[in-house]
Amino acid sequence: MRRREVADGLGSHGSAIGSGRWNSAQVGSLFCNRRSIALLLALLVLFPWLPTPRSVRTVAPARPLRVSQGEFLARIAFAPDGRTLATADSQGRAALHPLDEKGGSQQDLCDRGHGKVLAFAPDGRFLLMAGDAAGIVRWDLSRRVTETLPGIDVAYTSDLKVAPDGRALAVASFRSNDIVVWDMGSGRVRSTLQGHRSAVRRLDFAPDGRSLASAAVADGRIFIWDLDPRPRLRRSIPAPEVLSLAYSPDGTLLASASGFEWGVRIWDVRAEAETEARARANTNANANANANANANANEPIRLIASHRRLARCVAFSPDGTLLATAWDDGSVGLWSVTTGRERCRLETHASILTDIAFSPDGRTLAAAANDAEVRLWDLSRLVLNPLSPE
């Protein structure tokens, strides 16, 4: 069926669909006959890009940041003061980009090998970098010098995270199923976390620093580790092929993006801790109830579904109200954490997005892509869809 025939069959409703403007009278009359229903379904199947009655506001990037490395960008990170953005590319090169009004030129930090993953220390004094080469490199932002952290000889680093208090560093490698937690001061191993059946891909500290979430390449599970006072595996959550993990700012939620399903899962990790506490207090009397509670804890409290799109990255806004998702079609969605509704969609015109991050004040969202550009949006100027249906 040609598009013109579909539009002719819909009559006056065709213009309403094309413009995205609907009213109750049009909707009611449209669904009064079978022919209109069939034609509408055909239109949605043949042309899924046309606006829908609940279309989401789409916004183009406000400010592109060209990275002179000219390579596939792997990771990005905002400095704690929000004035600098760090980038790492697929060749292991890292750089700093001033974002304040004074601006400035890009500052290259390392040539190759140590710049594939990176993280700022919470106090903003250091940037930690790692990659295929062995060791962790620390860049001192005030003295503008680099040094290799003593004792940490991990190679092919897949992820690294600094604890919120800045005293510990968690490191994962594509060559190991274990996670090593190092003491930042002495370089000594605090603990080695073992249990994954394949190489660990992603890590994230809880905001209080007492727990660590991890996901491996192929074992289909998220592990939540208690680090204080004694390291132990607290929870194993089924989740296929996790590509990204993020704790909410208050530490009660954990979001995961999967390369296996169309959507993002949000888990209530606070409920999981409460369930465990009740289980310890009622070991025998409420055994069945506790088993049911544990089973429910393995189910996400919310699944943000996306039609035929895979999520590659997730990030919570600093106030915890929004979840940003980078999809494999090059778009970024901003979702309400409480309702699961999409508030806004940001277009990048990139084929692959590799990382997303909110600035510490929540006013800027950055997305890295495979075209050596970072897209920056001023979120204070965005008009978001309302939380309640219009």
Number of domains in the chain: 2
Checking if the pLDDT of 388 tops 80, the result is no
- Cα(161)–Cα(152) distance, integer angstroms: 14
Please report whether residue 188 resides in a domain.
Answer: yes
Query: Taking all residues of the chain, what is their mean pLDDT, rounded to a whole number?
Result: 78
- Same domain assignment for residues 37 and 140: no
Structural domain boundaries, residue 301: 58-381
Axis crossing angle, helix 287-297 with helix 269-281, rounded to the nearest 10: 170
Task: Kindly state whether residue 282 falls inside one of the protein's structural domains.
Answer: yes
* One domain, residues 307 and 349: yes
Q: Are residues 179 and 248 in the same domain?
A: yes
Say if 52 falls within a structural domain. no
Based on the fold, state whether residues 127 and 248 are members of the same structural domain: yes
Strands 342-347 and 58-59: parallel
Does one domain contain both 39 and 118? Answer: no
pLDDT of 283-314, one tens digit each?
444 544 444 444 455 677 777 766 557 888 99
Asked whether residue 74 falls in the same domain as residue 22, the answer is no
Q: Is a pLDDT exceeding 90 seen at residue 232?
A: yes
Provide the pLDDT for residue 45: 41
User: Are residues 264 and 131 located together in one domain of the fold?
Assistant: yes
Give the tens place of pLDDT for each residue, 156-169: 999 999 999 999 99
Residue 380 is given by DSSP the state G
Task: Say what the pLDDT of residue 306 is.
Answer: 64
pLDDT in tens, 325-341: 998 888 899 999 998 88
User: Is 389 inside a domain boundary?
Assistant: no
Checking if the pLDDT of 33 tops 80, the result is no
**Position 386 in a domain:** no
Q: Select, from the ranges 17-26, 176-185, 252-261, 295-304, the one with the highest average predicted confidence (pLDDT).
A: 176-185
Residues 29, 176 share a domain: no
Residue 176, number of CB atoms within 10 A of its CB: 19
Q: Tell me the one-letter amino acid at 271.
A: A
Q: What is the CATH number of the domain that holds 247?
A: 2.130.10.10
* Whether residue 69 is found in the same domain as residue 142: yes
Residue-wise pLDDT tens digits, 95-115? 899 987 666 778 888 766 777
Helix and strand counts by DSSP (H, E) for the chain: 6, 29
pTM, to two decimals: 0.78
Residue 82 has pLDDT above 50, yes or no: yes
Assess whether 27 and 174 both reside in one domain.
no
Q: In this model, does residue 384 exceed pLDDT 80? A: no
Flag whether 51 is in a domain.
Answer: no
Query: Does residue 390 sit within a domain?
Result: no
- Token pair 């500052």 is found at 107
Angle between helices 12-19 and 3-10 (to 10 degrees): 110
Top pLDDT among 56 and 8 is at 56
* Residue 53 domain-assigned (yes or no): no
pLDDT band of residue 5 (cuts 50, 70, 90) is very low
Residues 32 and 103 in one domain: no
Residues 216 and 199: their CA atoms lie apart, in Å, by 5
Largest separation between any pair of C-alpha atoms in the chain: 75
| pLDDT at res. 373 | 86
| Residue 201 contacts residue 217 (beta carbons within 8 Å) | yes
53 band by pLDDT with thresholds 50, 70 and 90: very low
Backbone angles phi and psi of 305, in degrees to 5: -90, 145
Same domain, 281 and 340: yes
Name the phi and psi angles at 93, rounded to 5.
-110, 135
